[in-house]
């Protein structure tokens, strides 16, 4: 089997069901070919990191900074400008 192209490796990681017919061949090739296996591991790591960043973004994006959600850290006279200015320096 020739080396796997990047699209095939990508599909093997994110949509393995689309490659049911070729799955056995791909797995055999990955077991035998260090280059394709390394590339697959790099792609998989990229997707793991992207998923982690995405989940972190979902957890924090809508809450705003922690001081804004805490009654202790939020002065009663907090204005829109204060929030914008503080966000600028925290991020």
Residues in CB range of 34: below 8 A, 6 or more apart? none
Q: Encoding tokens for residue 39?
A: 């590339």
Residue 29 has what pLDDT? 94
In this prediction the pTM is 0.60
C-alpha 76 chain-centroid distance: 37
Q: Encoding tokens for residue 63?
A: 């809450």
Q: How confident is the model at residue 90 (pLDDT cuts 50, 70, 90)?
A: low
Residue 36 has what pLDDT? 95
Indicate the DSSP class of residue 71. T
């Amino acid at each position: 089997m020739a080396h796997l192209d990047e699209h095939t490796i990508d599909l093997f990681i994110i949509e393995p069901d689309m490659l049911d017919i070729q799955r056995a061949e791909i797995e055999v090739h990955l077991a035998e070919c260090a280059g394709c296996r390394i590339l697959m591991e790099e792609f998989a790591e990229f997707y793991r990191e992207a998923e982690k960043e995405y989940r972190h973004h979902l957890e924090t994006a809508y809450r705003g900074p922690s001081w804004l959600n805490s009654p202790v850290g939020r002065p009663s006279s907090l204005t829109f400008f204060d929030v914008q200015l503080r966000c600028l320096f925290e991020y």
